[in-house]
Each structure stands twice: as structure tokens, then as C-alpha cells.
Chains A and B, each alone.
Chain A
Amino acid sequence: MSALTLHYDVPGDDFTRAGEASSDIKNKLKQMGISPDVIRNVAIATYEGEINMVIHANGGTIDAAIDAESITLTIKDTGGGIPDVELAMQEGYTTAQEHIRALGFGAGMGLPNMKKYTDEFNITSEVGKGTEVIMKVYLSK
């Protein structure tokens, strides 16, 4: 399989469009004949990241790199950053306001889900500068 890279700019001001990048990545992976389980894991992890960027960081970028062994996802924003990453990784911990919860998100499952559905997960965040999440999903387990 030849390497493929995909890049998406995620707007931060339109909740209704959130998920379009993840949907496109999912469709492209399907076209490449990648296994459904791998595709679903990539789709969920990317979607959670995309939603997080829209809710918390006024958008950002998503890059996907597909090679013969794995899919690497880089989700980056220049939002407010996360003061305590360890705390943010705990299931159920959230800083989302009530209006976000009314939209069906902000249950404190975003980052834990991203880690859960990927084989490698790394997050770096700096308050006032932004957050970068790099995840890898192996094509064969």
C-alpha cells in the first residue's frame, strides 16, 4: 500500500459541521479496503478529537497518514490548552458547560475514548498555546 496523507482544517464556529473530516477519513479508508474494525476505531478517535476541537478550542487541524502498517492521526489546535492532562484523561471528568452537554457532548469521555480506540496515544498541551494529540491505529493486531 502506498502512503497516503490527508489534511483537514476544522472550523470552530459551526457545530453542525463537526464530524465532516472524520466522515471523509472514514470513507477514504473504506475505499482503500481497510478492515471495518480498524476503520471504526479510527473514525471514533478522530470524531472525538474533532468534536473536542470545535467545543473547546475554536477548531484546529486533523492530519491522517496511512502506510502499510498503521494509520497515524494528528489532531492539533491552538486553543486554551489543558491545565491538567492527567485529570482530563479520567473518564467522566469534564469542563464542558451545560450548553455543550445539551448538545450531547461534554460527558468527560472524549479523551478516554480516543485513547481506548487507538493503539498508541500521546497528548501534549500547554495552557494558552493549545493541544496536540497523536494517535496510531495498527492495521493488523
Chain B
Amino acid sequence: MTIGDIKKLLECEVLCCDDRLESEVHTACGSDMMSDVLAFVKDQAVLLTGLLNPQVVRTAEMMDIICIVFVRGKKPDDAVVSLAAQKNIAILSTANRMFEACGVLYESGLRGGISSGGVGCSAGGCLDECAYIAL
């Protein structure tokens, strides 16, 4: 699946790095807890999140994640988009909620990965939704 496929499937707006739409993604992870994302290692992944701060981009950078999809119609501010552009990380925004967005991508063949640590869905007070697409 390409980032362009994700854009179509989730009816996303592309906020930066539209030159990456042909890039392949192999796995996905959905979470608002960045420490849980950091426990997940797979190549060429997409991150789905409702969190908007710059640490989402930093986390993606550390993990070599190539695309971030902001769910529930959220859009990060210009500083976050600019940071993502510097790191060549595509930023998409979809009106879908986390659960639906993950479900659509899973149904379309995208699979996730769980690290050997076995981290799954995190449930924190700040989360109203969280999903980990698991193998």
C-alpha cells in the first residue's frame, strides 16, 4: 500500500510532503501514547494519532516512520508541519476516528506489528480512542 492509497481510503487532506505519495508503507500503528509507539518497530510504517504536539513528529523521526495520519479531522500547527517537512515525513489529516481509520486500513490489507515487548493498546485518561493494528 502506498501513502497515496491511504490518502484515498481515508479521504485525507495532505498537509506536507505530497511528493511521498508513491512511497510504500508496510505496517501501521495507531496510538496517542508516544512511548507505546516507541515500543513498536517496523520498517516503512504509518502512524495514526490524535495527538498534535511536535513530539509526534520527533517520535516518527526516531522510528523511521514515513507518514503520520491525524485522525478526527485534527490538523497540527504550522511549526509541526514544518518540522515534518524537514524530516520528509508525510502529514495527512482524515475526518475518520481512530478506530474507523485503523479498520479501513486493516480491511484494505495493511497490517501492523507488535514488538517483542508485546505492547498493545494503551488506555490513558487522555485517550478516547486507541487502536493497535496487530498481526
Binding site for B on A (CB under 8 A): 15-16, 18-19, 22-23, 26, 36, 40, 43-44, 47-48, 51, 91, 98, 101-110, 112-113, 116
Judging by beta carbons under 8 Å apart, are B34 and A104 in contact? yes
Q: Mostly helix, strand, loop or mixed at chain A's interface? A: helix
Task: Please give me the residue from chain B that is nearest to A114 by CB atom.
Answer: B38
Known contacts: A43-B62, A98-B126, A101-B126. The answer to whether A109 contacts B55 by CB under 8 A is no
Does the CB pair B32–A104 fall under 8 Å? yes
A22–B59 Cα distance when bound, in Å, is: 10
The smallest beta-carbon distance between A133 and chain B, in angstroms, is 15
B53 closest partner in A (C-beta): A103
With CB as the reference atom, state the residue of chain B lying closest to A39.
Answer: B64
Q: Can you pick out 8 interface pairs between chain A and chain B where the beta carbons lie within 8 Å of each other?
A: A19-B55, A19-B62, A40-B41, A47-B38, A91-B117, A101-B125, A102-B126, A112-B39
Assembled-state Cα–Cα distance A116/B38 (Å): 11
What's the Cα separation between A44 and B39 when bound, in Å? 9
Given A44-B38, A104-B32, A107-B33, does the pair A16, B53 have CB atoms closer than 8 Å? Answer: yes
Chain A residues with CB under 8 Å of B4's CB are none
Query: Does any Cβ of A come within 8 Å of B111's Cβ?
Result: no
Determine which of B34, B56, B119, B124 lies in contact with A91 in the assembled complex, contact meaning CB atoms within 8 Å: B119
Q: List chain A residues, Cβ under 8 A from B115.
A: 116
A98, B124: Cα distance in complex, Å: 9
What's the Cα separation between A19 and B35 when bound, in Å? 13
**A-B pairs with the 4 shortest C-beta distances?**
A19-B58, A109-B35, A104-B34, A102-B126
The verdict on A18 contacting B117 (CB below 8 Å), with A105-B34, A107-B124 known, is: no
- Find chain A residues with CB under 8 A from B125 CB: 98, 101-102
Check B58–A44 contact: CB distance below 8 A. Answer: no
A109:B36 contact, CB within 8 angstroms = yes
Partner of A107, one of B35, B41, B53, B61: B35
- Which residues of chain A have C-beta atoms less than 8 A from B49's C-beta? 104
CA distance A104 to B36 in the complex (A): 9
